C-alpha cells in the first residue's frame, strides 16, 4: 500500500526533520503517550515527540545500573534508551513530559530526574474519573501550559489551542475510521499495520500522519482481504513502537489482530475533545472523565470490562491475546478475574503472554500462539 | 497444645487458663498445628531476648490482637480493614478501640506480618502467600507480600470478610488499590479509595506542595463519609485526635527505645525494637491497648536500666550500620548480622527526622495526616526516599549502610542503585545493596546472604577502625 510506504518514509525522515527545525530554534517536547495532552505541546509551537520505543532487550540491560529489575518492562526500557544515548529520538527533547500514572512511571521519572540529564515534567495523574480528579488534572495541565510557555517564550493563545484540538480530533477520527475497517470479515489492514500508524501518530507530524491515514482509508475502503482469518482482540499494558513480536507471530500463524486495547501505544480515539468552554477543562474531560476505557489502575475501573466485551462482539473476535509486560502489576491482577469472566461471557479462548523484551521469548511465544490459533481454527 | 506457646509469648498462667479457649479457636482457624507450635516456640527461644519481660508482654498483646482479628466477625457488629500506610484521618480514629463503638478496625496486612510471621516464624505466612498466588497474585510477578497476606487470609477464610476496605487508589502506592480491587472482585467487599498522585514540584522534598496534599485529603474525606454510611459511626475530629493520642502513648516509649539504640554499647537488639514499634502503631482493642502501653513502658524501663548499667548486646565501640527495611517476619537475618561484629543502629523508618517534627502547614486533620506521610520521604517518591535514608544515617552516625529495600515494593525499591550511589557519595562509608523480599522467605535465605554480609561486615569494621 502506497500510504504505508509514505508513512515509513515520513518516519525515516523524522529525526533529521526535527533536528533541522531544532537547529533553527524550535523546541522539542518529548512525552510518554496515554495521558499527555499533546494538543498543548502542539499549540505552544514546540514539536511534540512521543517516546514509546520498546521490544529491545539491550535497553533493559542498559537500565540495570540505575533501576532495579522489579519494575515494568516498558519503564525500564525507557531508562535504557535515555541513558545509553544510542536511540536518536531520545536525544532530541528539550523537555520530557511523563505522566506519573503508577509506581512504575514514578520510578522512571525518579531515575531520569536524578541522572537523566534531561528536564522532566512530572505530570501527576489521578486514579479515578470523579470531578475532583478531573479538576486536579486540569490544574496539572495548567502547570504544564505554564512550563511550555516558559520553554518557548510565548503564551499559548486559546485560538492556537483550539486549532490543535481540532487537528488532533481529526487525527483520532481518521485512526478510528481506519481501525473500524477491520470490522470487515476479511480486513485488508493488518493489526501490525494499524499499530504502526498509531505509533507514527505519536512520533510523526500530526497533519502528515492524518493525511497518510486518510489515504490509507481510501486505499482499503470497500476492499476485502483474500482469506478469512481467526480474529484476535489484543489487550496489552503497553504496545511499544517496534515491539511487534506478537503481531508477527500471530500473522505468521494465520491470525489477525482486529482490535486492541492498550494503556500506552494505541490512541484512545473513540472520544474526541469537545472544543468548547474552557479548553483545559475540555482536555481534562477527554483525558480523564471520559477516558474510554479507564486503565486497570483507575479505581474502580468502571466500564472497562463492558468495553472489552462490547468491542469483542462488535469486531466478532475469535480469541483474546493478553500481552502483559512483566511487573505491570495492574494488568496482571486484573487478568485473574477478567480472564474468567471473558471466557465465560464470550466463550472464546484467551492466551496470556508475558514479556520482558527478551530474545528467548520468541520461541515460547511462537509455540503458544500457534497452539492458540489452532484451537481457534478447531472451534470454527 | 498451645500452652507452651502462650507461655513463651508472655502470658501468665492465669491468663492462659482464662483466655485459652478463645485463642485456641483463633489459632486453629489460622492453621497453627502441633508442628507449627513447636517450631514457633523454638523460634522465639532462639531469636528473642529472653530477659526483656516487656517484650514478652508485647508478644502476648500481638497474639491477643491476632485472635481479635480472626474472631472479629462474631465479636463485632462491623469489621473494617485498611491498608497499612498510617495515613491519619480515619486510621487515627481506628487506632483507638475506645472510639470504635462496635466496629472492629484493623490492618490485617500488617498485623498478620507482625503477629503471625514476626512471632510464630516466617513459615507461618507461607500458606497465606500460596493462597494469594492461587487467587490472582501469581508467584514470580513481584506482588507486594503484605497485600498477598490479606488476599490469602481472605481466600482461606482465616480472617473474616470486612464490611468495608480502605485503600490507596494512588496515594503513595498504586499496588494497594489493585490488590483491594481484586478483593472486591473475588469476595464482593466494598472498597473506598484514598487517591493521590505525583506533583510537578515533586522533587522539592521536604517541602510538599499544598495541592499535592489537598487532593489526597479531599478523597480521604469522601472515604470518611463512606465509613459513616457503612458503620453508622460518624468520625469526629475529637475521636481522630483521641485515637492518635492513644497510639502515641504506645509509641512514645518505643521512640525512646529507638533513641536508646544510639547509646554505646547498644542496649537492645534491632529485631525486638522494630517488631515492637510496628506492633505499637496498629489498631487494638481498648483492653489490649492498655496492655500494650504497659508492656512498652516496661520494655523501655528495662532497656534504660541496661543503659545505666553500661550493658549492651555487643561490646562498646562495635561499628554500627543502618538497615533500610528489615525482614520483620524473619529474625534469623537480623540475628545473623548482629553476630558479625556489627550492630544495626536504625532502619525501618522508625527514627523521626527533623522534617517530620515540623508543625503541619495545613491545620485540617486530613491534610496534616497526609503531609506527615509525605514528609516520611520514602512514602513520597524514590528520590526523597534516598534523602530520608541519608538524613537518618547522619543522625545515627553509622559506619555502613545496607539498602535492603524489599524487591516487590515499586515505591521503595526502584531507585536502590541510585540510593546506594547517593549514600556512598555523601557519607563516604560502605553501602551494600541487598536484594531481598522481606515478606517472603521463599525468595531469599539468611544463609545465602551470609557470605555477602560477612564480607560487608569486614569492610565496615575496617572503615570504622580507619576512621577512628
Q: Is A96 helix (H, G, I), strand (E, B) or coil?
A: strand
Residue B362 has pLDDT above 90, yes or no: no
Mutate to test the interface with B, among A110, A140, A288 (most CBs of B within 10 A): A110
Window from A216-230, B47-61, B278-292 with minimum mean pLDDT: B278-292
The partner residue sitting opposite A106, judged by closest CB among B186, B198, B416, is: B198
Residue B89 has pLDDT above 50, yes or no: no
The partner residue sitting opposite B407, judged by closest CB among A65, A68, A104, is: A68
Question: With an 8 Å Cβ cutoff, is B215 touching chain A?
Answer: yes
Q: pLDDT digits over B375-408, tens only?
A: 888 888 888 889 999 999 999 999 999 998 888 8
Among chain A residues, CA nearest to B148: A333
Helix (H) or strand (E) holding B39: helix B34-47
Torsion B107-B44-B301-B399 (CA) sign: negative
Q: pLDDT digits over A73-121, tens only?
A: 999 999 999 999 999 999 999 999 999 999 999 999 999 999 999 999 9
Does B41 or B86 have the greater pLDDT score? B41
Window from B114-128, B212-226, B243-257 with minimum mean pLDDT: B243-257
Instruction: Name the minimum distance, in Å, from the CA of A137 to any CA of chain B.
Output: 10
- Label residue B93 by pLDDT band (50, 70, 90): low
Whether residue A60 contacts residue A356, with contact meaning beta carbons closer than 8 Å, is answered with: yes
CB contact under 8 A, B414 and A330: no
Kindly provide the ipTM of the predicted complex, given to two decimals: 0.94
Mutate to test the interface with A, among B169, B208, B219, B414 (most CBs of A within 10 A): B414
Among chain A residues, CA nearest to B421: A66
Instruction: Name the minimum distance, in Å, from the CA of B381 to any CA of chain A.
Output: 7
- Label residue B411 by pLDDT band (50, 70, 90): confident
Residue B458 has pLDDT above 80, yes or no: yes
Does B42 or B409 have the greater pLDDT score? B42
Window from A134-148, B273-287, B299-313 with minimum mean pLDDT: B273-287
Among chain A residues, CA nearest to B187: A337
How far apart CA B425 and CA B393 sit, in angstroms, is 13
Q: How far is CA B158 from CA B28, B29, B68, B105, B329, in A?
A: 9, 6, 12, 16, 18
**In chain B, residues 136-175 whose CB comes closer than 8 Å to chain A:** 136-138, 141-143, 167, 169-170, 173-175
Predicted TM-score (pTM) of this structure: 0.95
A27 DSSP 8-state letter: -
Instruction: Give me the total of CB pairs closer than 8 Å, taking one residue from chain A and one from chain B.
Output: 163
Q: Give φ, ψ of B353 to 5 degrees.
A: -90, 170
Specify the pLDDT at position B378: 81
How far apart CA B49 and CA B266 sit, in angstroms, is 14
Among chain B residues, CA nearest to A135: B215
Share of chain B above pLDDT 90, in %: 56
User: Strand A231-238's sheet: what is its strand order?
Assistant: A256-264, A231-238, A319-325, A350-355
Amino acid at each position: 500500500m502506497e500510504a504505508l510506504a509514505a508513512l515509513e518514509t515520513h518516519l525515516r525522515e523524522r529525526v533529521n526533520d526535527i533536528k533541522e527545525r531544532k537547529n533553527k530554534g524550535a523546541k522539542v517536547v518529548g512525552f510518554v503517550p496515554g495521558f499527555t495532552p499533546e494538543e498543548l505541546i502542539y499549540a505552544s509551537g514546540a514539536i511534540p515527540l512521543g517516546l514509546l520505543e520498546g521490544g529491545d532487550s539491550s535497553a533493559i540491560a542498559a537500565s540495570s545500573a540505575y533501576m532495579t529489575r522489579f519494575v515494568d518492562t516498558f519503564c525500564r526500557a525507557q531508562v535504557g534508551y535515555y541513558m545509553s544515548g544510542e536511540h536518536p529520538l531520545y536525544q532530541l527533547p528539550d523537555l520530557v513530559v511523563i505522566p506519573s500514572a503508577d509506581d512504575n512511571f514514578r520510578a522512571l521519572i525518579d531515575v531520569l530526574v536524578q541522572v537523566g540529564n534531561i528536564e522532566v515534567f512530572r505530570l501527576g495523574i489521578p486514579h479515578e474519573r470523579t470531578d475532583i480528579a478531573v479538576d486536579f488534572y486540569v490544574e496539572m495541565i495548567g502547570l504544564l501550559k505554564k512550563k511550555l510557555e516558559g520553554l518557548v517564550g510565548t503564551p499559548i493563545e486559546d485560538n492556537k489551542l483550539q486549532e490543535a484540538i481540532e487537528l488532533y480530533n481529526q487525527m483520532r477520527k481518521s485512526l478510528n475510521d481506519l481501525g473500524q475497517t477491520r470490522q470487515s470479515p476479511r480486513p485488508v489492514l493488518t493489526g501490525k499495520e494499524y499499530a504502526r500508524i498509531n505509533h507514527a501518530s505519536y512520533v510523526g507530524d500530526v497533519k502528515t500522519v492524518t493525511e497518510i491515514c486518510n489515504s490509507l482509508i481510501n486505499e482499503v475502503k470497500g476492499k476485502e482481504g483474500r482469506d478469512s482469518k481467526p480474529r484476535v482482540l489484543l489487550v496489552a499494558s503497553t504496545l511499544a513502537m517496534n515491539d511487534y513480536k506478537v503481531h508477527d507471530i500471530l500473522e505468521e500463524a494465520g491470525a489477525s489482530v482486529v482490535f486492541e486495547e492498550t494503556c500506552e501505544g494505541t490512541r484512545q480515539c473513540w472520544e474526541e475533545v469537545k472544543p468548547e468552554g474552557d479548553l483545559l477543562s475540555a482536555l481534562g474531560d477527554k483525558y480523564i472523565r471520559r477516558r474510554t476505557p479507564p486503565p486497570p489502575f483507575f479505581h474502580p475501573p468502571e466500564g472497562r470490562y463492558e468495553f472489552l466485551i462490547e468491542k469483542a462482539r462488535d469486531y466478532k473476535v475469535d480469541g483474546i491475546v493478553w500481552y502483559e509486560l512483566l511487573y505491570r502489576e495492574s494488568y496482571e491482577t486484573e487478568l485473574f478475574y477478567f480472564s474468567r469472566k471473558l471466557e465465560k461471557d464470550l466463550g472464546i479462548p484467551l492466551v496470556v503472554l508475558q514479556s520482558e523484551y527478551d530474545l528467548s521469548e520468541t520461541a515460547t511465544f511462537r509455540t503458544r500462539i500457534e497452539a492458540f490459533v489452532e484451537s481457534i481454527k478447531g472451534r470454527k | 497444645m498451645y500452652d507452651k506457646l502462650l507461655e513463651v509469648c508472655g502470658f501468665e498462667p492465669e491468663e492462659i487458663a482464662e483466655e485459652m479457649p478463645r485463642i485456641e479457636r483463633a489459632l486453629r482457624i489460622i492453621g497453627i498445628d502441633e508442628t507449627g507450635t513447636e517450631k514457633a516456640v523454638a523460634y522465639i527461644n532462639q531469636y528473642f531476648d529472653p530477659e526483656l519481660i516487656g517484650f514478652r508482654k508485647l508478644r502476648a498483646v500481638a497474639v491477643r490482637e491476632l485472635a481479635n482479628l480472626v474472631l472479629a466477625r462474631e465479636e463485632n457488629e462491623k469489621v473494617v480493614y485498611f491498608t497499612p500506610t498510617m495515613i491519619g484521618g480515619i486510621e487515627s480514629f481506628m487506632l483507638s478501640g475506645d472510639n470504635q463503638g462496635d466496629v472492629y478496625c484493623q490492618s490485617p496486612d500488617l498485623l498478620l506480618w507482625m503477629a503471625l510471621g514476626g512471632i510464630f516464624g516466617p513459615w507461618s505466612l507461607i500458606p497465606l502467600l500460596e493462597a494469594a498466588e492461587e487467587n490472582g497474585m501469581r508467584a514470580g510477578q513481584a506482588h507486594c507480600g503484605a497485600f498477598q497476606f490479606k488476599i490469602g487470609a481472605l481466600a482461606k477464610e482465616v480472617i473474616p470478610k470486612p464490611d468495608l476496605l480502605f485503600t490507596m487508589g494512588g496515594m503513595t502506592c498504586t499496588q494497594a488499590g489493585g490488590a483491594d480491587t481484586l478483593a472486591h472482585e473475588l469476595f464482593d467487599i466494598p472498597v473506598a479509595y484514598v487517591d493521590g498522585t505525583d506533583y510537578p514540584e515533586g522533587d522539592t522534598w521536604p517541602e510538599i506542595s499544598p495541592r499535592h496534599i489537598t487532593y489526597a485529603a479531599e478523597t480521604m474525606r469522601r472515604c470518611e463519609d463512606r465509613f459513616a454510611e457503612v458503620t453508622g459511626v460518624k468520625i469526629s475530629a475529637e475521636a481522630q485526635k483521641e485515637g492518635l493520642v492513644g497510639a502515641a502513648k504506645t509509641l512514645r516509649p518505643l521512640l525512646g527505645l529507638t533513641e536508646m539504640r544510639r547509646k554505646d554499647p547498644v542496649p537492645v537488639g534491632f529485631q525486638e525494637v522494630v517488631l515492637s514499634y510496628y506492633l505499637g502503631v496498629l489498631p487494638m482493642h481498648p483492653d489490649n491497648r492498655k496492655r500494650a502501653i504497659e508492656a512498652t513502658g516496661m520494655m523501655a524501663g528495662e532497656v534504660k536500666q541496661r543503659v545505666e548499667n553500661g550493658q549492651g548486646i555487643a561490646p562498646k565501640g562495635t561499628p554500627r550500620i543502618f538497615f533500610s527495611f528489615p525482614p520483620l517476619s524473619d529474625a534469623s537475618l537480623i540475628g545473623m548480622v548482629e553476630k558479625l561484629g556489627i550492630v544495626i543502629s536504625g532502619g525501618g523508618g522508625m527514627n523521626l527526622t527533623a522534617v517530620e517534627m515540623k508543625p503541619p502547614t495545613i491545620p485540617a486533620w486530613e491534610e496534616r495526616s497526609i503531609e506527615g506521610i509525605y514528609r516520611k520521604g520514602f512514602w513520597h517518591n524514590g528520590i526523597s526516599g534516598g534523602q530520608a535514608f541519608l538524613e537518618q544515617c547522619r543522625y545515627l552516625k553509622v559506619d555502613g549502610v545496607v539498602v535492603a529495600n524489599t524487591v516487590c515494593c515499586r515505591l521503595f525499591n526502584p531507585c536502590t542503585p541510585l540510593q546506594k550511589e547517593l549514600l556512598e557519595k555523601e557519607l563516604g562509608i560502605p553501602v551494600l545493596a541487598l536484594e531481598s523480599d522481606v515478606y517472603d522467605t521463599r525468595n531469599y535465605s539468611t544463609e545465602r546472604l551470609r557470605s555477602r554480609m560477612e564480607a560487608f561486615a569486614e569492610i565496615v569494621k575496617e572503615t570504622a577502625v580507619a576512621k577512628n
